[in-house]
Amino acid sequence: PSSERAAAHQAWARCQRCWSSRSPSSWQEQAQGTMLKVLTAFKSSEIEQAVNSLDRNGVDLLMKYIYKGFEKPTENSSAILLQWHEKALAAGGLGSIVRVLTARKTV
Amino acid sequence: MAYHSFLLEPISCHAWNKDRTQIALCPNNHEVHIYRKDGAKWSKVHELKEHNGQVTGIDWAPESNRLVTCGTDRNAYVWTLKGNVWKPTLVILRINRAARCVKWSPKENKFAVGSGSRLISICYFEQENDWWVCKHIKKPIRSTVLSLDWHPNNVLLAAGSCDFKCRIFSAYIKEVEERPSPTPWGSKMPFGELMFESSSSCGWVHSICFSASGARVAWVSHDSTLCLADANKKMAVATLCTETLPLLAVTFITENSLVAAGHDCYPMLFTYEESQGTLTFGGKLDVPKQSSQRGLTARERFQNLDKKASSDTTNATLDTLHKNSISQISVLAGGKANCSQFCTTGMDGGMSIWDVKVRRPRSALVPPRLG
C-alpha cells in the first residue's frame, strides 16, 4: 500500500543521509536496522521496480547495505537480501560489488 | 596476425619500436625479449638479460631508438643498440623498493620511474660525467606509484598511485630544457611542483593518460571507476562508476574518446562529453561468438552435472579474445589524437592488435580479424 511505500522512501532517504555524513556507529547501526526493515517490507515482485528507480549512486549504496545485512544475518534476512542482491547486481554490475569492497566510508 | 599468443605466462609489460616491426616484452621473469615481425610470424631476435628481478616497465624511445627498462631489483637500465647487440647502462635510481613503471619523455631527453619507494625518479643524462643522474619527486606521494604519463610539453608528468590519487607534477629539469610556457594546468612549474591532485577515489590508480593536447588527463582505479580531469574546465573531474571489474589500462584515442581494459579481459570504449562534463560507456569489444548454439547431448549434460554440479547449458568459458586480464594498452597508429590501431597485452601471455574505424561522427571498434 502507498503508505508503506512512502514510509519506505522516507526511511531510504534517512539512510542515505546517514551514510553521507560522518555518523557515529550508533546511528549507523540504527540505519542498518531501518534499512533491513525497509528491504523486508517490499514484496518480491516489487523489488525489481524499486531497484530500477535508483540512480547509479543509489544502486551502489543499496549494495553496501545488502552486504552489511549479510554480515549480521537474522532469521529470514539472508533470503530477502539475496533477492535484492540479484536485482541490484543486474542493475549495477560487478562494479557495484567492487565498490562495496573498496569503499572507505562504511555504512 | 591480429592475436598472437606469445607465452603461457603473463606478459608483464611491453613496448613497440617506432615502425611497429618489433615488440619488446617481459615474459614474467627477469629478462626482456624482443620479437620481430616476419610476415605473419613473430621471431625472437634478442634477449636482454641484466635485471635481477622481474622487469616491471619497458619503454622504447621512437626517435633515439633507446630502450629503458625498470624492475623489482630497484634498478633501471638504458639500452642502446650497438651493431646487433643491445648494451645496457645502469641508472642509479636511489630507491629502496621495487621500480614499477617507466616512461621516456616526449623529447626523449629524460625518463621517469615510479616506484614502491613512494616517489618518482626523474632521470636525465649529464654530459660532463657521462652518466645518468636522477632527481626525486616525493611530496605529497604516500604510496607506490603505479603509472606515469608525460604531457606533450616534456615537463608535466601525471602519476597514478596506490594512495588513490592522480597527480600532475612538474618534472622540469633546467639542465636539459628551456623554461616551459604556461599551460592550462598552471604557469609556474619549478621541479616537483604539484599542479593537480585528484580528490580521493577509493582505489589504486592503475593507469593514467594525458590526451594528445595535454589538456585532459584520465585514469582508472581499482574501485571500478574511470575519471577524467579537464584543465580547460578549471580541472573539473568527471567520474564514471563502471559496471565492470576494475580496469587496468587506459588510453585516449581521440581528444574525446578513450579505450580501457582490465580484469574483464576485453577493451571498451568511453566518450567524454565536454559541454556536460560527463563520461559515458560507449560499448565493449568482444570476439563475435562462434555459432555454438547447438543443444547439449544427454552425455554432455550428465558430464556438466558431474564436473560442475550444474545443469546450466551456458558456456562457462570466456568468449573474449584475451583469456585473462588485459594489463596494458599501447597506441600503434594515429597517436592519441586519432588512433586507428592499438595493442593489448595480458596475463594470458597474448598480444592483440585492434583496429579503430571511424564511422561518421562516432567511433566504433572493429574486432580483429582472426587466423
Q: How far apart are CA B7 and CA B114, in angstroms?
A: 26
Averaged confidence pLDDT in chain A: 84
Q: pLDDT-based confidence at A76, cuts 50/70/90?
A: confident
**Taking CA atoms, what residue in B is nearest to A95?**
B243
Is A97 among the domain residues?
yes
Cis peptide before B140 (omega within 30 of 0): yes
Which residue in B202, B242, B246 is closest to A104 by CB distance? B202
Is B326 among the domain residues?
yes
Q: Does the beta-carbon distance from B243 to A99 stay under 8 Å?
A: no
Is A30 among the domain residues?
yes
Is B229 among the domain residues?
yes
> Which domain CATH number covers B202?
2.130.10.10
**Taking CA atoms, what residue in A is nearest to B225?**
A95
Q: Does the beta-carbon distance from A102 to B241 stay under 8 Å?
A: no
Range of the domain at A74: 2-102
> Which domain CATH number covers A95?
1.25.40.190
Q: Does the beta-carbon distance from A93 to B243 stay under 8 Å?
A: yes
Give the gap in angstroms from C-alpha B363 to the nearest C-alpha of chain A.
25
Is A107 among the domain residues?
no
Residue B14's pLDDT is 98
Is B106 among the domain residues?
no
Cell of B285: 569489444
Is B323 among the domain residues?
yes
Give the gap in angstroms from C-alpha B273 to the nearest C-alpha of chain A.
18
Is B33 among the domain residues?
no
Is B263 among the domain residues?
yes
> A13-27, A93-107, B79-93, B139-153: which has the minimum mean pLDDT?
A13-27
Range of the domain at B206: 198-288+318-357
Is A11 among the domain residues?
yes
Tens digits of pLDDT across chain B (371 residues): 489 999 999 999 999 999 999 999 999 999 999 999 998 899 999 999 999 999 999 999 999 999 999 999 999 999 999 999 999 999 999 999 999 999 999 999 999 999 999 999 999 999 899 999 999 999 999 999 999 999 999 999 999 999 999 999 999 999 999 999 999 999 999 999 999 999 878 899 999 999 999 999 999 999 999 999 999 999 999 999 999 999 999 999 999 999 999 999 999 999 999 999 999 999 988 665 554 555 667 777 777 777 777 666 555 567 789 999 999 999 999 999 999 999 999 999 999 999 987 654 444 455 554 43
Q: Does the beta-carbon distance from B203 to A92 stay under 8 Å?
A: no
Q: Does the beta-carbon distance from A103 to B223 stay under 8 Å?
A: yes
Is B109 among the domain residues?
no
User: Quick one: CA dihedral B141, B145, B147, B152, positive or negative?
Assistant: positive
Which residue in A56, A57, A99 is closest to B223 by CB distance? A99
Which residue in A95, A96, A103 is closest to B202 by CB distance? A103
Q: Which residue has the higher pLDDT, B123 or A42?
A: B123
Taking alpha carbons only, the member of B242, B209, B206, B202 closest to residue B225 is: B242
Query: What pTM does this model have?
Result: 0.89
Instruction: Give me the helix-helix angle, A56-71 and A2-20, nearest 10°.
Output: 90
CB crowding B133-147: b at 16 or more within 10 Å, else e = bbbbbeeebeebbbb
Residues from B contacting A (CB-CB < 8 Å) are: 200, 202-203, 222-225, 241-246
Q: Does the beta-carbon distance from B223 to A96 stay under 8 Å?
A: no
Mutate to test the interface with A, among B205, B206, B224 (most CBs of A within 10 A): B224
Q: pLDDT-based confidence at A20, cuts 50/70/90?
A: low
> What share of chain A has pLDDT > 70, as a percent?
79
Q: What is the number of CB-based contacts under 8 A between chain A and chain B?
A: 38
Residue B291's pLDDT is 45
Is B3 among the domain residues?
no
Q: Does the beta-carbon distance from B243 to A60 stay under 8 Å?
A: no
Residue A4's pLDDT is 67
Q: ipTM value of the model?
A: 0.84
Considering only CB atoms, which chain A residues are within 8 Å of B243? 92-96
**How many domains in chain A?**
1
Which residue in A56, A57, A93 is closest to B244 by CB distance? A93
Mutate to test the interface with A, among B225, B240, B242 (most CBs of A within 10 A): B242
Is A91 among the domain residues?
yes
Which residue in B202, B243, B246 is closest to A92 by CB distance? B243
Residue B16's pLDDT is 98
**How many domains in chain B?**
1
Q: Does the beta-carbon distance from B243 to A98 stay under 8 Å?
A: no
Q: What is the DSSP letter of B254?
A: B
**pLDDT value at A92 more than 50:** yes
Taking alpha carbons only, the member of B289, B288, B249 closest to residue B270 is: B249
